[in-house]
Amino acid sequence: MVNGADGHTAATYAGRDAYAEHFGNADTIKEAKAFRLAGRAINSASYTSKGAGHE
């Protein structure tokens, strides 16, 4: 088992590498988490700024 700093667990090193690559080709799980959270914040801000739910 490979534990990431953000609480995610990969069953293999290949899983860890796939997670890191999926979220911005990161070098570490910690960096992948930062990319994932930044992307989530951008998407959330974009959705909110379009007036979602305020028709």
The Cα 33–Cα 37 span in angstroms is 6
Where do the domains of the chain lie? 2-49
Contacts of 9 (CB under 8 A, 6+ apart): 1, 2, 3
pLDDT at 50: 62
Tens digits of residue pLDDT in 11-50: 788 888 888 888 888 888 889 889 999 988 888 887 666 6
